[in-house]
Structure 1
Amino acid sequence: MNTVVTSKDEILKISRELIRQQGWSAVNIRSVASACGVSVGSIYNYFDSKSDLVSATVESVWCEIFHRPDDGAIFHDTLACIVWIYERMAYGCKQYPGFFTLHSLGFMREDKSDGKRRMQQTWQHILQGLCTVLKRDPNVRPDAFTDAFTPEKFADILFSLMLSALLRQDYDPSTVLELTRRTLYESSH
């Protein structure tokens, strides 16, 4: 028998589990209420609509996939950060099959403004994290960045490559690592 769920976090945890077991179509007010062992009305105490529930679940999936690691050193080394991002993408693909391609990127085509906003907030957080790592990395050569080629512009390039990898389901970071080594670490002379 299910234990009765009494918090928003528990509802989102069970929603993520439903996705893992049955896919995205399993996330609706009735199925989540049933899995939580509560009434439909109880879910509405936390979420105004199915759309609100799905959007919050999308955000919680992104947060689970890209949760901050205990090892803070990853955010001081660009290469380690890239490896970590690609490992997390592989984890996300395994835990939530089709999440990146079928659902999340679908927000970009459809008018699901809250889900799209939440996904873009997560993407912005990842992009800002890449910028921070690029600026902190002591191994980046001093002349790697210029007024025209900034850490922000290189972070955009890395992020675009990451999105492309998500679409292709290619979680091998070797090409991105080589590009980063040549661009940031090797002498330009």
Structure 2
Amino acid sequence: MNTIVTSKEEILKTSRELMQQQGWSAVHIRSVAAACGVSVGSIYNYFSSKTELVGAIVESVWCEIFHRPEDEAAFQDIQTCIAWMYERMEYGCKRYPGFFALHSLGFMPEDKPDGRRRMQQIWEHILDGLCAVLKRDTNIRPDAFDEQFTAEKFADALFSLMLSALQRQEYDPSVVLEIVRRTLY
């Protein structure tokens, strides 16, 4: 058995492939080590615990799903951005069936805070991106936001709608896009 893995990224890539082929429940230290062709100890050289491995895998999947496209046009206006996000949600659900519904179960109760922290970081990144797009979208009328109704609050509402759509496995952004049109234009 090969006991040298070239990187954490290689372990995470193999873990994502394992999840894609066999589902979330197939991902644990022994199965990841076997898929990588290394000893369990080799995995522990990169991840101090199952929780750290699971957290890194969850983060890795979220990052793959919502990676920035090479075509920056997706971030020029909020409507295009929302359409892109819903496409990526559908991609994620097809590529990693059950991931969005099940990944939080991969953490033991005592490890939930680390899982929540990782998810919060990813979600903050997505929210920051939505806010940035809202603020640079030249199609939004100038008086759309004020002190009570801020771009940050609207981004939070959009993100909540996105999470709700993920739970329902509904990838048609038309209702959300209509809300955006009626609210901001």
TM-score calculated relative to the size of structure 2: 0.93
Identify which range, 157-166 or 107-116, moves more after superposition.
107-116
For residues 135-171 of structure 1, what are the alpha-carbon distances to aligned partners after superposition, in whole Å with 9 as ceiling and x for unaligned? 0000001111111111011111101100110111101
How many Å apart are 1:76 and its aligned residue? 1.7
Partner of 1:88: 88
How many Å apart are 1:88 and its aligned residue? 0.4
Partner of 2:65: 65
> What's the Cα RMSD here?
2.1
* Distance change >3 Å, CA 108–CA 171, structure 1 → 2: farther
Contact 1:77 1:137 in 2 (8 A): yes
Q: Distance in 2 between matches of 1:25 and 1:32?
A: 12
What is the identity, as a one-letter code, of the residue corresponding to 1:126? I
Partner of 1:115: 115
Q: For structure 1, which runs of at least 5 residues remain unmatched after alignment?
A: none
What is the identity, as a one-letter code, of the residue corresponding to 1:154? F
Aligned residues: 184
1:76 aligns with 2:54: no
Partner of 1:46: 46
TM-score calculated relative to the size of structure 1: 0.91
Q: Distance in 2 between matches of 1:108 and 1:122?
A: 17
Q: 3-state DSSP class of the match of 1:45?
A: helix
Contact 2:145 2:151 in 1 (8 A): yes
* Distance change >3 Å, CA 109–CA 13, structure 1 → 2: closer
* Distance change >3 Å, CA 107–CA 142, structure 1 → 2: farther
Q: Distance in 2 between matches of 1:154 and 1:108?
A: 31
Partner of 2:140: 140
Q: Distance in 1 between matches of 2:135 and 2:171?
A: 25
The 5 A counterparts of 1:28-39 are: 28-39=28-39
Q: Distance in 2 between matches of 1:135 and 1:18?
A: 39
How many Å apart are 1:102 and its aligned residue? 2.1
* Distance change >3 Å, CA 86–CA 145, structure 1 → 2: same
Q: Distance in 1 between matches of 2:133 and 2:108?
A: 31
What is the identity percentage for the equivalent residue pairs of Structure 1 and Structure 2?
Answer: 74
Q: Distance in 1 between matches of 2:171 and 2:160?
A: 14
Q: For structure 2, which runs of at least 5 residues remain unmatched after alignment?
A: none
Q: 3-state DSSP class of the match of 2:138?
A: coil
For residues 54-109 of structure 1, what are the alpha-carbon distances to aligned partners after superposition, in whole Å with 9 as ceiling and x for unaligned? 110000000000001111122121000000000000001001111111224x4799
1:25 aligns with 2:54: no
How many Å apart are 1:29 and its aligned residue? 1.4
Contact 1:33 1:43 in 2 (8 A): yes
How many Å apart are 1:35 and its aligned residue? 0.8
Contact 2:51 2:108 in 1 (8 A): no
Contact 1:107 1:116 in 2 (8 A): no
Q: 3-state DSSP class of the match of 1:147?
A: coil
Identify which range, 24-33 or 47-56, moves more after superposition.
24-33
